[in-house]
Amino acid sequence: MLSLRPGTRSDVPLILRLVRELATYERAPGAVVATEADFLRDGFGDTPRFHVLLGEWNGEPAGFALYFYNWSTWLGRPGLYLEDLFVLPRHRGNGIGRRSSASLPGSPSAKDAGGSSGRCWTGTSRRSASIDRLAPR
């Protein structure tokens, strides 16, 4: 069963592990230079610069979404930028990515946000297709 919850300070080692697993999946295992101290400072201080939503499947870490708020000059409203959405390969096909995406502030179910955006920088068309399926219709 899926459980979604906000990441906390004590989750930083897990968050960094998931980020490294994402980098490995993207064929860039050595690209992550961020440290636990970086995540603690910028995500869990007095003024967080990002937020993390953790997905767990039957109590086991299954994936994460890392996002931050932006402001649209065109809409004149705040929005949300999804930096990363990653589900461990062994947990794919359970709707974790879709439910995580729908649970973010600014998803189509949220009324006050100016929408959400994100990026997909990957050489794998399979992942690109998965990201496209999560886009609001």
Q: Are residues 106 and 113 in contact, defined by beta-carbon separation less than 8 angstroms? A: yes
User: How do beta strands 77-87 and 60-72 pair?
Assistant: antiparallel
pTM score: 0.80
Answer yes or no: are the C-beta atoms of 93 and 53 closer than 8 Å.
Answer: no
Secondary structure letter of residue 9 according to DSSP: G
Residue 93 near residue 62 (C-beta atoms within 8 A): no
Number of domains in the chain: 1
Q: What pLDDT score does 135 carry?
A: 47
- For residue 116, give the nearest of 87, 62, 64, 77 by alpha carbon: 77
Report the pLDDT value the prediction gives residue 116, as an integer from 0 to 100.
53
pLDDT in tens, the chain (137 residues): 999 999 999 999 999 999 999 999 999 999 999 999 999 999 999 999 999 999 999 999 999 999 999 999 999 999 999 999 999 999 999 999 999 999 998 665 444 545 555 554 444 434 444 444 554 44
- Cross-strand pairs, 127: none
Q: In this structure, what CATH number is given to the domain that contains residue 57?
A: 3.40.630.30
Q: Is 51 helix (H, G, I), strand (E, B) or coil?
A: strand
Residues facing 92 on adjacent strands: none
> Whole domain around residue 42: which residue ranges?
2-134
